[in-house]
């Protein structure tokens, strides 16, 4: 198929960016979206132009590194996939495809389509773990976890930290990401001891880093490639209220 | 040159590790604060080591090339992690896990290391559960297990099809906690370019800040390399796009020997190649072989018709299907080890029974298990894998059998290390997939995660301490030292040289060409003539690369093409060593199959008389390597032919 690409090009964090249009011909529908960009880049290199920079690594939807805003949607038009798992069969011959980086103040652009998401690491550093030192663990089966809760915890833990939820939100809120981690531990007995501290610290850091508030639009849930549920946000709000009250 | 001394402690196998720990040297808390450790890599091995050493009070600096430690490729592991807990009460034990690993590795691994791995496997599960890793559970709340290839017991713990992700998020959490506490400092989007030696000991690294392009000098009293495997030397593999050999190749050039490079693993169940634009191959977890049955058409005409799109798999009747693994290996059936399953699939396709448009595919069929267990059970067990398959192939695997083919997946070879995971360079350690230590000639499924975490949580924290106990009088060194300046200059010169080529062809072009040579001549089946040809072709390609590679942009900025070029330059050297090693090893064992050495039934024919050793290569000059042999003495296990029939 033949396509027209409108891609955000920005030299570095300090420079202003702009859209540049590239025609691209003869793309197989079985090609993945990132492979389509590889083909474009190969052509740019042949012309001694700088290839389009974008983050990617695993190319199988699990590392959370790819982060493209495609035709107005984080990770593009397919549901429940990351950009690296998106295939060109979701587009049609003659389409114009607009490709932008995540746009959110806490995720500044580094170059072209690559953004800095270290804010997410900072939130996790505040308490996205259980404080147990290596070697200090008890026999695993001494901790029993009901299957239902363990499945719900796994649902929440499936978050890949991609940031699509933030990019989708008009307020650039990180509630879905933060609540997924808070929920995972809130649902497990191991997480109880630090529960109150955890939610307070993580929420405080989220606010400090400039992520916006949640106004219950749930674009995050709609765009999350891992189908993280908005019910996690409700759970986090509950945890947060309890932590403040007591 | 250093002696090849594996430093295996004396005494009976079962008490070597406890004896080591009882007698190792310790560092007191006030001295720990004065000792710096550099860890390169944030996968399971690197992050677990950094977290543990940080907790102990050492000063740690950790590096990764991605934007966050959580993106290391360990995240992609699907199937599970082994441990000898024997929860299902099916006869498992530390000894049996040890035995299966040695046998699975076709008797080419070091007994003492493997025994220790099996010993600490249970601690890993305890540790991960304490961290809140959401492993699959039975209805009663206890942990659930499943079976994996090469074992007759169920010892694999899992978190849906995302075990690696959950384990890594556990160690990433532990690491994040130490970063917050200030014991560990994180350098993301940084690539290690070289190691710095002072008076023969590893004392730091040169790293490149990938965002600014600046070279940096970092000091450490000890350096740990945990940079993963080198499967991308084949271009197409199940590894991540950035997975590379550069760190272990640079230390190789500085004296850290490279062991068994030809022991590479081809995984039997991956989604087949579909086009020349393809950038990577996707794994379908081995766990699928628990419930899926592998077959090809029994009649060539059916295979032919399927290739032409005239016949659907479901229309091939039961009596016209050849369940070739069940036929050839009745005792293990679809759960034979990976090397065996891969070769059997290749054999059928080469004989003209392959399916799919390229003829390079076999079926993985769930019809029987869906009938027996119901679709919902299969969905619960493998839902995300089925979804992934459907997204890529555009076909519903609940209704049509999956099509799969072997692909490069894992590298058993790697930096040679002794019992303490120290390389042949003093003060330089290697952990995880980057080292060669535990899997011999073939790794069993669910054992790499186990090894990565064993190295990181339970081995390095002891052995590095033992080393550092002798370094407490060494003060932090200034990175203005001549050795640092010289190493930096070396890196600078190399990058300048790359930028100066200004040729006509992209880095990817060369990487793809290398991949073709490797797959054709150094892939699933190797022979003398092919390996010699590969060496010649690689040399030629390498020469062309340095004359004709084209890298836009400059080196003082974020430049992804330069990053790739630097890695491919190293792959172009490693490919040659890999072929050399395969040529040297005149036997077939595990993942290394030499066509000249097979039984009448087409199975591996090992040569224990001449090759029961670890091949540790020393770098002499480009394309020149010296072989050192570490003999493998089996005290506990009787060396036998591997039989899965
Ligand atoms: C698709 C897939 C599925 C798998 N499934 C399983 C499974 O079910 N069970 C199992 O046991 N094993 C499995 N494996 C194998 C297992 O996942 C790996 O062997 C293991 O996770 C490797 O961990 P590691 O810590 O050694 O390296 P990695 O996790 O690969 O981490 C490497 C780290 O090194 C860093 N790095 C690399 N080079 C440099 C450099 N030059 N400078 C700076 N940093 C660098 C990277 O940034 C990264 O942080 C699977 C592998 C794949 C590819
Ligand atoms: S919640 Fe979903 S969209 Fe947000 S970071 Fe996690 S996986 Fe990405
Ligand atoms: S590249 Fe890893 S999730 Fe897309």
Question: Which site among B50, B134, B380, B567 would you substitute to test the A interface, given the most A Cβ atoms closer than 10 Å to its Cβ?
Answer: B134
Q: How far apart are CA B634 and CA A36, in angstroms?
A: 52
Q: Percentage of chain B surpassing pLDDT 70?
A: 100
Query: Of B108, B146, B338, B381, which is the active-site residue?
Result: B338
Looking at chain A, which residues constitute the CATH 3.10.20.30 domain(s)? Answer: 3-111
Q: Among B210, B188, B186, B206, which residue's Cα sits nearest to residue B196? A: B206
Residue corresponding to tokens 């001694």: A48
**B568 and B464 fall within a common domain:** no
Scanning B100-139 for CB atoms below 8 A from A yields 123, 125-132, 134-139
**CATH code, domain with B331:** 3.90.700.10
The answer on pLDDT for B376 being more than 90 is: yes
Instruction: Look at residue B14 and tell me if it is in a domain.
Output: no
Q: What is the pLDDT of residue B172?
A: 98
Are B47 and B124 contained in the same domain?
yes
CA–CA distance, A136 with B174 (Å, rounded to integer): 13
The total number of structural domains that make up chain B: 3
Question: How many other CB atoms sit within 10 Å of the CB of residue B280?
Answer: 25
Taking a C-beta distance cutoff of 8 angstroms, is the pair A100, A8 a contact? Answer: yes
Residue B556: CA atoms inside 13 Å, Cβ hemisphere, count? 0
Closest CA to B538 of B564, B567, B517: B517
Residue B203 shares a structural domain with residue B238: yes
Instruction: Say if residue B98 is in the same domain as residue B51.
Output: yes
Kindly state the average pLDDT of the residues B435-445: 96
Q: Is the pLDDT of residue B2 over 80?
A: no
Length of chain A, in residues: 246
Report the gap between the CA of A22 and the closest CA in chain B (Å): 18
Mutate to test the pocket of ligand 2, among A159, A178, A218 (most ligand atoms within 8 A of CB): A159
Rounded distance, CA B620 to CA B197, Å? 17
Interface of A with B in 27-56 (CB under 8 A): 28, 30-32, 34-35, 38-39, 42, 44-46, 48-51, 53, 55-56
Range of the domain at B220: 26-266+410-471
Determine which residue's CA is closest to atom 2 belonging to ligand 2. Answer: A224
The verdict on B320 and B399 lying in the same domain is yes
Beta strands, E only, B356-450: 362-365, 402-411, 414-415, 428-430
B383 reaches A (C-beta below 8 A): no
Residue among A63, A128, A150 minimizing CB distance to B75? A63
Concatenating the DSSP letter of every residue in A75-119 gives T-SSTT--GGG-BGGGS-TT-EEEEE----TTS-EEETTEE--HH
pLDDT (mean) for B585-590? 97
As separate numbers, helices (DSSP H) first and strands (DSSP E) second, chain B gives 19, 19
pLDDT tens per residue, range B260-286? 999 999 999 999 998 889 999 999 988
Mean pLDDT computed over every residue of chain A: 97
Question: Largest Cα–Cα distance in chain A?
Answer: 64
B420 DSSP 8-state letter: T
Report the run of H or E that residue A20 belongs to, with start and end: strand A18-24
Interface contact B66-A63, CB threshold 8 A: yes
Q: Please report which confidence band the pLDDT of residue B337 belongs to, taking 50, 70 and 90 as the band edges.
A: confident
B338 labelled catalytic: yes
Mean pLDDT, range A128-137, rounded to an integer = 96
Q: What are the pLDDT digits (tens) for B63-94?
A: 999 999 999 999 999 989 999 999 999 999 99
In the predicted model, is pLDDT for residue A24 greater than 90?
yes
A244 versus B231: the higher-pLDDT residue is: B231
Question: DSSP assignment of A156-225, as one string?
Answer: HHT-----HHHHH-TT---HHHHHHHHHHHHTSGGGSTTHHHHHHHHHHHHHHTT-----S--HHHHH-T
Rounded to two decimals, the ipTM of the complex is 0.98
Sign (positive or negative) of CA dihedral B365, B329, B136, A155: negative
Distance B317 CA to ligand 3 centre (A): 39
The per-residue pLDDT for B134 is 97
Reduced DSSP (H G I as helix, E B as strand, rest coil) percent helix, strand, coil of chain A, to 5: 40, 10, 50
* Cα(B283) to centroid(ligand 2), Å: 23
Chain B positions touching A137 (Cβ under 8 A) are: 123, 126-127, 129-130
Q: B172 CB near a chain A CB, below 8 Å? A: yes
Using alpha carbons, select from A125, A209, A227 the residue that is nearest to residue A172.
A209
pTM over the 0.90 mark: yes
CATH code assigned at B233: 3.50.50.60
Residue from B38, B39, B42, B43 whose mutation best tests the ligand 1 pocket (most atoms within 8 A of CB): B43
Pocket lining for ligand 1, CB < 6 angstroms: B 40-46, 63-66, 72-74, 76-81, 163-164, 191-192, 226-229, 238-239, 244, 246-247, 283, 410, 432-434, 446-449, 452
Q: Which residues pair with B428 in a beta bridge?
A: B223
pLDDT band at A109 (very low <50, low <70, confident <90, very high): very high
B47 in the same domain as B169: yes
Do B176 and A128 meet the contact criterion of CB atoms below 8 Å apart? Answer: yes
Average pLDDT over residues B128-147: 96
Closest listed residue to residue A66, CA positions, set A178, A163, A159, A155: A163
Last residue of a domain, one of B445, B471, B497: B471
Within 81-110 of A, beta carbons closer than 8 Å to B belong to: 81, 85, 87, 89, 110
Residues with a CB atom less than 6 Å from ligand 2 = A 159-165, 176-177, 180, 224-226, 228
DSSP category for residue A135: T
Cβ neighbour number for residue B230 with a 10 Å cutoff = 32
**For the CA atoms of A197, A202, A208, A214, what is the dihedral angle to 10 degrees?**
-120
* A163 Cα–ligand 2 center, Å: 5
Q: Where in chain A is the domain with CATH 1.10.1060.10?
A: 118-131+144-245
Same domain, B404 and B418: no
Residue owning tokens 């690369």: B545
Over residues A105-109, the mean pLDDT reads 97
- Give the pLDDT confidence of B560-586 residue by residue, as tens digits: 999 999 999 999 999 999 999 999 999
* A29: number of Cβ within 10 Å: 13
**Six-digit token string for A147:** 């299957």
**A70 alpha carbon – ligand 2 mean position (Å):** 16
Query: 3-state class of B139 per DSSP?
Result: coil
- Residue B638's alpha-carbon distances to B106, B270, B416, B634, in angstroms, are 12, 34, 24, 7
Alpha-carbon gap, residue A129 to B173, rounded angstroms: 5
Given B408, B423, B458, the domain boundary residue is B408
Confidence class for position B3, pLDDT limits 50, 70, 90:
low
DSSP A143: S
Mean pLDDT, rounded, of chain B: 96
Instruction: Answer yes or no: is pLDDT of B253 > 70.
Output: yes
Q: Flag if A58 and B71 touch (Cβ within 8 Å).
A: yes
CATH of region A3-111: 3.10.20.30
Contact B625, B261 (CB under 8 A): no
Gap between the Cα atoms of A184 and A194, Å rounded: 13
B309 and B398, same domain (yes or no)? yes
Left, alpha or beta for B91 (phi > 0: left; psi -120 to 50: alpha)? left
Q: Give the minimum alpha-carbon distance from B278 to chain A in angstroms, rounded to a whole number.
A: 7
CB within 8 Å: B48 and A116: no
Give the integer Cα–Cα distance in Å for A30 and B308.
18
Q: B492: exposed, middle or buried (C-beta count within 10 Å: 0-12, 13-18, 19+)?
A: middle
Do B492 and B621 have their domain in common? yes
b (16+ CB within 10 A) / e for B2-13: eebebebbeeeb
Helix (H, G, I), strand (E, B) or coil at A10: coil
> Which of B71, B139, B140 lies at the smallest CB-CB distance from A57?
B71
Residues A118-131+144-245, CATH architecture: Orthogonal Bundle (1.10)
Domain membership flag for residue B640: no
3-class DSSP assignment, residue B25: coil
- Which residues of chain A does B135 touch, with a Cβ-Cβ cutoff of 8 Å? 150
- Is the beta carbon of A35 within 6 A of some atom in ligand 3? no
- Candidate from A127-131, A168-172, B315-319, B383-387 with smallest mean pLDDT: B383-387
Q: How far apart are CA B191 and CA B215, in angstroms?
A: 10
pLDDT at position B1 over 60: no
pLDDT higher than threshold 70 for residue B401: yes
- Asked whether residue B598 is assigned to any structural domain, the reply reads yes
d(CA B346, CA A82): 32
Helices (H), B35-189: 44-56, 94-104, 111-130, 163-181
H or E stretch covering B296: strand B293-297
How far is A47 from B391, CA to CA, in rounded Å?
Answer: 33
| A49 C-beta closer than 6 A to ligand 3 | no
What integer pLDDT is reported at residue A246 of this predicted model?
61
What tokens appear for A176 in the block? 């879905």
Same domain (yes/no): B293, B385: yes
Q: Which chain A residues touch B282 with a CB distance below 8 Å? A: 59-60
C-alpha distances in angstroms, B230 versus B206, B264, B435, B507, B536? 21, 9, 11, 17, 21
Tell me if B433 is assigned to some domain: yes
- Chain A residue with minimum CA distance to B74: A63
Assigned domain for B293 exists: yes
User: How far apart, in Å, are the Cα atoms of B320 and each of B302, B307, B353, B397?
Assistant: 9, 16, 12, 20
- pLDDT at B252 > cutoff 70: yes
Cα four-point dihedral sign A129, A133, A135, A141: negative
pLDDT per residue over B167-203, tens digit each? 999 999 999 999 999 999 999 999 999 999 999 999 9
Same domain, yes or no, for B276 and B234? no
pLDDT tens figures, B339-361: 899 999 999 999 999 999 999 99
Q: Residue A223 CA: which ligand 2 atom is closest?
A: 3
Q: Are residues B164 and B112 in the same domain?
A: yes
Q: Is residue B7 part of a domain?
A: no
């Amino acid at each position: 198929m033949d396509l027209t690409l409108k891609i955000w090009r920005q030299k570095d964090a300090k420079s202003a960016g702009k859209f540049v249009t590239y025609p691209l011909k003869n793309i197989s529908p079985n090609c993945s979206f990132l492979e389509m960009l590889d083909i474009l880049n190969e052509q740019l290199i042949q012309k001694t132009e700088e290839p389009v920079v974008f983050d990617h690594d695993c190319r199988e939807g699990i590392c959370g590194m790819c982060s493209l805003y495609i035709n107005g949607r984080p990770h593009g038009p397919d549901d429940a996939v990351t950009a690296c798992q998106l295939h060109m069969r979701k587009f049609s011959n003659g389409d114009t495809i607009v490709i932008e980086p995540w746009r959110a103040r806490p995720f500044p652009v580094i170059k072209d389509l690559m953004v800095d998401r270290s804010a997410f690491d900072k939130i996790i550093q505040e308490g996205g773990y259980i404080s147990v030192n290596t070697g200090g663990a008890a026999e695993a089966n001494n901790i029993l976890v009901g299957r239902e809760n363990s499945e719900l915890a796994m649902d929440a833990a499936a978050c890949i930290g991609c940031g699509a939820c933030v990019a989708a939100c008009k307020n650039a809120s990180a509630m879905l990401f933060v609540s997924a981690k808070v929920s995972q531990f809130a649902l497990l007995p191991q997480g109880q001891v630090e529960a109150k501290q955890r939610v307070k610290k993580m929420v405080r850091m989220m606010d400090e880093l400039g992520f916006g508030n949640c106004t219950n639009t749930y674009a995050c849930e709609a765009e999350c490639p891992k189908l993280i549920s908005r019910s996690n946000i409700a759970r986090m709000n509950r945890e947060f209220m309890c932590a403040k009250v007591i | 040159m250093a002696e090849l001394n594996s430093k295996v402690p004396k005494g009976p196998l079962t008490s070597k590790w406890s004896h080591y720990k009882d007698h190792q040297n310790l560092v007191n808390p006030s001295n720990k604060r004065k000792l710096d450790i550099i860890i390169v890599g944030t996968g399971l091995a690197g992050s677990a080591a950094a977290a543990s050493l940080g907790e102990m009070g050492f000063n740690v600096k950790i590096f990764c090339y991605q934007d966050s430690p959580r993106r290391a490729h360990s995240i992609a592991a699907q199937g599970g992690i082994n441990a000898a807990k024997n929860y299902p009460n099916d006869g498992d034990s530390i000894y049996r896990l040890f035995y299966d690993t040695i046998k699975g590795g076709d008797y080419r691994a070091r007994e003492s290391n493997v025994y220790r791995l099996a010993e600490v496997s249970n601690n890993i599960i305890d540790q991960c559960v304490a961290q809140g890793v959401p492993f699959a559970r039975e209805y009663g709340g206890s942990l659930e297990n499943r079976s994996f290839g090469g074992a007759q017991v169920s010892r694999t713990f899992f978190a849906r099809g995302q075990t690696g992700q959950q384990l890594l998020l556990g160690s990433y959490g532990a690491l994040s906690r130490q970063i917050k506490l200030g014991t560990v400092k994180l350098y993301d989007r940084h690539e290690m370019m070289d190691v710095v030696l002072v008076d023969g000991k590893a004392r730091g690294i040169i790293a490149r800040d990938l965002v600014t392009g600046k070279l940096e000098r970092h000091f450490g009293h000890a350096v740990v390399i945990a940079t993963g495997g080198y499967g991308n030397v084949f271009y197409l593999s199940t590894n991540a796009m950035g997975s590379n050999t550069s760190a272990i190749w640079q230390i190789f050039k500085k004296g850290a020997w490279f062991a068994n490079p030809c022991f590479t693993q081809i995984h039997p169940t991956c989604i087949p190649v579909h086009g020349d634009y393809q950038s990577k191959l996707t794994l379908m977890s081995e766990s699928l072989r628990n419930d899926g049955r592998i077959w090809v058409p029994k009649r060539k005409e059916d295979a032919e018709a399927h290739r032409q799109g005239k016949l659907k798999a479901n229309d091939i009747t039961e009596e016209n299907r050849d369940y070739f693994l069940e036929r050839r290996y009745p005792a293990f059936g679809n759960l034979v080890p990976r090397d065996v399953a891969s070769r059997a699939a290749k054999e059928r396709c080469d004989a003209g029974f392959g399916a799919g448009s390229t003829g390079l595919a076999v079926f993985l069929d769930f019809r029987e298990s869906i009938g027996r267990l119901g679709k919902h059970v299969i969905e619960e067990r493998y839902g995300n894998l089925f979804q992934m398959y459907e997204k890529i192939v555009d076909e519903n695997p609940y209704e049509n059998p999956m099509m799969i083919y072997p692909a490069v997946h894992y590298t058993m070879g790697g930096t040679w290390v002794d019992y303490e995971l120290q390389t042949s360079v003093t003060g330089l350690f290697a952990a995880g997939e980057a080292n060669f230590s535990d899997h011999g000639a073939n790794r069993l499924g669910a054992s790499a995660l186990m090894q990565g975490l064993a190295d990181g949580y339970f081995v390095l924290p002891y052995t590095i301490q033992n080393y550092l106990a002798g370094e407490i009088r060494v003060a932090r060194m200034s990175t203005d030292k001549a050795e640092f300046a010289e190493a930096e200059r070396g890196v600078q010169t190399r990058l300048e040289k790359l930028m100066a080529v200004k040729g006509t062809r992209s880095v990817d072009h060369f990487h793809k060409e290398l991949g073709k040579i490797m797959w054709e001549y150094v892939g699933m089946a190797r022979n003398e003539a092919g390996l010699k040809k590969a060496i010649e072709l690689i040399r030629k390609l390498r020469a062309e690369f340095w004359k004709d590679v084209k890298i836009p942009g400059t080196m003082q900025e974020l430049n992804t093409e330069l990053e790739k070029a630097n890695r491919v330059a190293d792959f172009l050297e490693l490919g040659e060593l890999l072929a050399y090693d395969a040529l040297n090893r005149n036997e077939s064992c595990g993942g290394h199959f030499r066509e000249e050495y097979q039984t009448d039934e087409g199975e591996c024919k090992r040569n224990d008389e001449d090759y029961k050793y670890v091949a540790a290569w020393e770098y002499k000059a480009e394309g020149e390597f010296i072989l050192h042999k570490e003999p493998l003495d089996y005290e506990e296990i009787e060396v036998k032919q591997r039989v899965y029939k």
